[in-house]
Amino acid sequence: MTDKSIETSIKAFREDLVFPAQGRIYLNHAAISPISNYVKKAMDSDIQTRFESDPENLEALLFKMEQSRKILARWMNITDFNRIGFVYNVSTTINQIVQSMEWHSGDEILVNSKEFPSNRRPYETLKTLGVQILELGNSEGAVRAEEVEQLITPKTKLVAISAVQFLGGFKANLTAIAEICRKHQVLLLVDTIQALGQISFNQEEIHADFIVGGSHKWLMGPTGIGYCFISENGESAMKVKPQGWLNNDTPWNLFASEATLLKGGRILEVGGISSINVSGLYATLRQFDAIGIDHIQVYAYQNAGNLRARLAKTGAVFGDFKLEERSSIMSLYFGKRAEDIHKKLKENQIDTAVREGFIRLSPHFYLNDAEIHKAADVLLSVI
């Protein structure tokens, strides 16, 4: 695509959203994104089909799931798209993974001390088995490869990390961290919910054992549906695999006492999934794919960089990160004043998030320069 055709595609996407036409500047994609009219129509159509014509509609559901797997696999450079399964959310999925593994007293898990609860709390239950939860990272949520190397011991079984930290937006060097994990034969679980849709992820370089993410943030899809990739190595570590109706190769052999389980993340597709959410996910993946995920990532990163540059003068920007460690998430610390600043921004039709005394900003690709400049000017005026 040429630069002009990319801009034309982005313009068309903007016109499919409600907020830009309202003058509302949405800088909260790291929480929950708005959905496009195209996504809404896809979900509405699924409801209408179930309401008036075909309640089962299984063939259409399976087609959307397969096509969605293929798009996600291509974006993340995953060789076997059938190792991607669809799940409800990150918290549930990580719980399923860790509860299926065999743990012994003294086993260690390395987790970012500033990790979001969905990739931290599922491991807490393992403490009753004597598993040690060791914390990585600094006060800014930055986890670097050299620290992982220093903390890994012969007892370390799993490193769990987000590709992008939810508050400061630190982007981990997953290739380097993964290499260390492989060297020490340690499993690697990566939460990509704050990454996919705004930065690239290359599984052929990273070789993560588990990849978990959701659709409602940077992918601008519905809540209640996510994805999970599990490698052969990760699958072999799951000693007690979940059993259900649909996660095997003969689901319609209803009275069989045994069945061959599906592979990879599809192990977790134990039962029915919301066809409405699958329709929404497939729609947003198609819409993003038409623009080009690489182009989307470039524009999102540029918007965040422009916003960061204009707000640097505040001295409140959180995180002393190198350029290659930055993402499209940034936060500014205002302490007790954060709630009031957030309210004033909202009054000026600028959506942000308040997290632990920080104002978090997460602009996406479709915002234009005028909106980025206005958001910065308003923020500077209310602080």
Domain 3-36+292-382 CATH class label: alpha beta
What is d(CA 167, CA 160) in angstroms, rounded to the nearest whole number? 17
Judge whether residue 147 has pLDDT over 90: yes
> In the prediction, which pLDDT does 74 show?
98
In the predicted structure, residue 1 carries a pLDDT above the cut 80: no
Query: Mean pLDDT, the chain, as a whole number?
Result: 96
pLDDT tens sequence across 287-308: 999 999 999 999 999 999 999 9
Domain range summary for the chain, segments of one domain joined by +? 3-36+292-382, 47-288
Sign of CA dihedral 124, 84, 244, 283: positive
Average pLDDT rounded to a whole number, residues 302-329? 95
Burial of 258 (0-12, 13-18, 19+ CB in 10 A): exposed
pLDDT tens column, 125-144: 999 999 999 999 889 999 99
**Fold of the CATH domain 47-288:** Aspartate Aminotransferase; domain 2 (3.40.640)
Q: Across residues 221-229, what is the average pLDDT?
A: 98
pTM confidence score: 0.96
Determine the residue type at 113: S
CB 330 within 8 A of CB 169: yes
pLDDT band at 31 (very low <50, low <70, confident <90, very high): very high
Judge whether residue 362 has pLDDT over 80.
yes
pLDDT digits (tens, 9 = 90+) for 152-201: 999 999 999 999 999 999 999 999 999 999 999 999 999 999 999 999 99
**Across the chain, where does the E strand assignment appear?**
25-26, 84-87, 108-112, 132-136, 156-162, 187-191, 210-214, 226-230, 330-333, 350-351, 353-355, 358-361
